Chain A
Amino acid sequence: MTDKAKPGEHNPIGRRRFLLGASTAVAAGVAPTAAAQAQQQGAPAAAAAASGSEPTAYLTLTEAEAAFFAAVADTMIPADELTPSGTECGIVIFIDRQLASAWGGGAKMYRNGPFRNAKREYGYQLPLTPRQFFAAGVVAINAWTRKAYGKDFDRLAAKEREDALKALEQGKAALDDFDGKAFFEALLQITMEGFFADPIYGGNRNKASWRMIGFPGLPAVYSNLIEQYRNKPYVVEPQSIADFS
């Protein structure tokens, strides 16, 4: 990998601010449906939180990485009447905290060599921790999109981002020395974790995904409800771990 992105080369700080502004604008431009308005009731600070409480510092992500994950999150989870965008749901914050966690540092992994390439059914076989794997992946994807599209991934137009992610998903992206398909699967997984996990991890802000599907969260004590709500909607304001702490 010789064409690693250098800090400042693409003015990443400016780029990141641009991205956050753009996604907020998209969200604001969509006329919320009655259903979505109902979904958001009881959480009036949601819209303000999306831009207002955005931290300016990350635990571990570089600005280029944050811009990459933001672009992925907003492509995988675009803003619409169901939820705000992936970024507004806090997915970049979630990924930052996860990669800075013990898990990101390779906890609960067997990391002794020798290492060798293997069939997919043998599972993950690299010496890289999740933090290192995602760092290498961002570099590899940006190198590829610069060749294929002339720009880093986060600078691509929405349609190009979608095409690029599809190419990765289908194993059609020609990456140098990196398994793009495996990286895509990891990217999809961590993005979905950020979207659906309990909000204490920084994602799923305002329980947006739980509202979208009707998952009540906590306390999940249903012995007196399971029969009563058999084949009937059980609609409550979702609650998270923090709401009980």
Chain B
Amino acid sequence: MATRLKEVDAIMVGMGWTGSILARELTKAGLTVTGLERGEDLSPRENFGLPGIRDELRYSYRLELIQDPALETVTFRHRPSESALPMRRFGSFLPGNSVGGAANHWGGQHWRYLPSDHLTRSRIVGRYGANAIPDDMPIQDWAMTYDELEPYYDKFDKLCGVSGKAGNLRGERIEGGNIFEGPRSSEYPTPPLIMTESGLMFAKAAKDLGYHPFPQPASNASRPYVNSEGLTLGGCQYCGFCERNGCEANAKAGPQVCVLPVLRSEPKFSLRSRSWVSRLSYDKTAKKVTGVIFTDTRTGEEYEQPAGIVVLSAYVFGNISLLLNSGIGEPYDPVTQQGAVGKNYCYQLSRMGVTLFFEDKFFNPFMGSPGTQMVMDDFDGDNFDHSALGFLGGCKIQLGHADGRPISYRPVPPGTPRWGAKWKKETANWYQRAARITLSGSNYANRYNYIDLDPTYKDQLGRPLLRMTYNFVENDHKVADYCMRVALEIARAMKPTMMGPPALRQGDYDTVPYQSTHNTGGTIMGTDPKTSVVNRYLQAWAADNLFIMGASTFPQQPAYNPTGPVGALAYWSAEAIVTKYLKSPGPLVHA
């Protein structure tokens, strides 16, 4: 029998970005908040310091900061006709596993979604007609526009000390920034990072071809920065160990650097790490959650924590799992297309690109950060005319050196063996002289890509694992093929000594090689409870005191990485809770 704890005003289930932001905003409003985190607590000084943090094997290959699949993983199949098997090791994506969440090991590429990304369906219908959207592509608009969310994007930028250059300041287009972005109310908090030689070469070639390259916006502060919480971030050291590692310079934004130091000293907040929430207590008739059940993994004891408000702030899979394992909302069925929990699971097109070799260059690929890349968005989202193309969506295209760590980064010319004397010679010759154009693309929802509960496999607490049914579809392959043509045009303009074969998005989804930890959907936002799980304030339709954060609320995945909107939505939802919900608890939107 679970020990019942004293009720608190609000619980965070997961203490990454969104749990930390919500806990901060709700305690500021006077609420008592408990943050529950399955993983351990970390201290940047203790855990992310030199020299140990510069260990490629430990962090990139033994996955020190990544969720342990022995505790909980997902099962996978390509299509509903197959039976799923567990992902026994994480490969394709790498969820985080401690206080700070995936932000401990993210790279920091920091985007705002395009205004057209917020209106995906209506924009396409308006521009190309309703028939342009295939029947099996249930894309939806976001439940708020870019303009509505802009102040919250801005707020999150200033929490993170994002580096970059504006391309649209209050409606004025600025050359050198991203001219496709939505209007920003202010310039980036810190200037762009120092650009690599390869980034400059890419930018020149792209510009000469008439495109609009700009520096990658990054939550790697380019110089020391005092953030909106009064906390000081360090300047990026261009160490080349960013993603999968912690940051010893406190330059990479994350809750441990940007929020938690303030939150930890807040008397109304208590943090419970190693506390694994197994389910929510749900009163279906009253449409309320009454609290959560969790296991303290240090003692094995089970607790019931009652709360007035429950915030699901876990990773995408944790949020979906807690709804399905608590019987909240209707599970999605791809045959009837009824139900919304698990619907519109999306990913991101990645692992696409082409490697260029320059015999007269010296790139020092180990000096860099995720922000030392130049990007172009001319073929992203709906920034280009899709009228005669036969697909929807697009890619960002970029180049720069960010992580020349030697176990993983060893470019060799096409035809080189993978070992032996010839391989050694070519590796030694080209390590310093190669650069890779990469593409990341949108991934629009498909009727048969979804999440439900696995009938066979269980997690360590005995709960059914989530089952992912997912594959790339024709639209994805067409996006990749089209954008690769542009990438190759730029590649040729850069006049390399030689080029590798273009890596395209081909065949079935492969769960083994890393692609991106940008899983989205499953608890999507919308205006209709039949086709969405949360309303525009991220409040669950099934329980008015349940709020669901993060990328699980995205109806589909644009080409951009999701953390920027995840942070903006957290501030947006927190404000709605404080200014609307606390005054009049109940549904904030009447469907």
- Contacts from A to B (Cβ < 8 Å): 75-78, 80, 82-83, 103, 107-112, 114, 116, 118-125, 162, 165, 169, 188, 191-193, 196-198, 200-201, 209-210, 212-223, 225-227, 229-234, 241, 243-245
Contact = CB atoms under 8 A, between A and B. Distances in A.
A165 B368 CA distance: 36
B553 interface: no
A225 B418 CA distance: 32
Nearest to A114: B456
A110 B194 CA distance: 42
Contacts of B368: 226
B63 A108 contact: yes
B88 A229 contact: no
A122 B238 contact: no
B238 A222 contact: yes
B424 A196 contact: no
Given A188-B418, A218-B51, A230 B197 contact: yes
A221 B57 contact: no
Contacts of A78: 420-421, 424
B46 interface: no
A118 B50 CA distance: 42
Interface of B: 50-52, 54-57, 61-63, 66, 68-70, 73, 76, 78, 85-89, 91, 194, 196-197, 200, 235-241, 361-364, 366-368, 372, 404, 406-407, 410, 418-421, 424-425, 427-428, 431-432, 456-458, 508-512
B239 A220 contact: yes
Given A118-B85, A222-B367, A108 B69 contact: yes
Contact of A233 (B62, B410, B432): B432
B268 to A, nearest CB: 36
A223 B54 contact: no
Given A112-B457, A196-B407, A212-B428, A123 B88 contact: yes
Contacts of B196: 226, 230
Contacts of B197: 230-231
A227 to B, nearest CB: 5
Nearest to A192: B407
Contacts, number: 172
Contacts of A229: 364, 367
A217 B366 CA distance: 9
B434 to A, nearest CB: 11
**Residue of B194, B407, B431 most packed against chain A (CB within 10 A):** B407
Given A111-B88, A221-B239, A226-B194, 8 more contacts: A80-B421, A108-B89, A111-B70, A215-B406, A225-B238, A226-B368, A243-B51, A244-B51
17 contacts: A75-B420, A76-B420, A78-B420, A110-B86, A112-B458, A123-B87, A125-B85, A169-B418, A197-B56, A198-B55, A213-B410, A214-B432, A218-B51, A227-B194, A229-B364, A233-B362, A233-B364
A228 to B, nearest CB: 10
Contacts of B51: 218-219, 241, 243-245
A227 B410 CA distance: 23
A169 B419 CA distance: 11
B419 A165 contact: yes
Nearest to A115: B85
Given A111-B88, A114-B456, A220 B237 contact: yes
Among all A-B residue pairs, the 4 with the closest Cβ atoms: A244-B51, A76-B419, A213-B431, A197-B57
A212 B70 contact: no
Contacts of B194: 223, 226-227
A122 to B, nearest CB: 5
Contacts of A188: 418-419
A47 to B, nearest CB: 19
A16 B508 CA distance: 44
A82 B428 contact: yes
B419 A223 contact: no
A120 B89 CA distance: 13
A241 B55 contact: yes
A230 B57 CA distance: 27
